[in-house]
Amino acid sequence: MDGKINLAEKLASFAQHWSPRTITQFNDCDVMVVKVLGEFVWHKHDDTDDFFLVLKGTLDIELRDRVVTLGPGEMYVVPKGVEHRPVAREEVHLLLIEPTGTPNTGDPATAAQRIKA
């Protein structure tokens, strides 16, 4: 294996929304792809920032005081402790990078299970 990962192939391998797929790990972080549609829950991460890179579509990241809109090739980092809610009015494909084991809802009890792609 040469270590090369094709993001389009990984994204084509599943249809579920809000179910991140881990495609690799580095420096104790998970690199994931995910398809999203609709509204996610309001949440925050007390111990880590939240990284979003849009691959396809348009994503609104709602913060309590404003909305950050991202298109393909744009990224945003939500600082740790800041409440936010991703909203996708159409299917959006994202690349996420988080410390391994970070619950996507900020709460392990309600977090989506991590699945290897």
Least confident residue range of 20-24, 28-32, 64-68, 107-111: 107-111
Q: What is the pLDDT of residues 39-82, one digit of tens each?
A: 999 999 999 999 999 999 999 999 999 999 999 999 999 999 99
pLDDT at 1: 47
Domain annotation covers residue 44:
yes
Domain annotation covers residue 28:
yes
Domain annotation covers residue 55:
yes
Domain annotation covers residue 1:
no
Domain annotation covers residue 45:
yes
How many domains is the chain built from? 1
Alpha-carbon distance 6 to 19, whole Å? 18
| Domain with 15 in it | 7-116
Q: CATH number for the domain including 102? A: 2.60.120.10
Least confident residue range of 30-34, 64-68, 97-101: 97-101
Domain annotation covers residue 2:
no
Alpha-carbon distance 108 to 112, whole Å? 8
- For every residue of the chain, DSSP letters joined together read ------HHHHHHT---BS--EEEEEETTEEEEEEEEEEE---B--SSS-EEEEEEES-EEEEESS-EEEE-TT-EEEEPTT--EEEEEEEEEEEEEEEETT--TTS-TTTPPPPEE-
pLDDT at 105 over 60: no
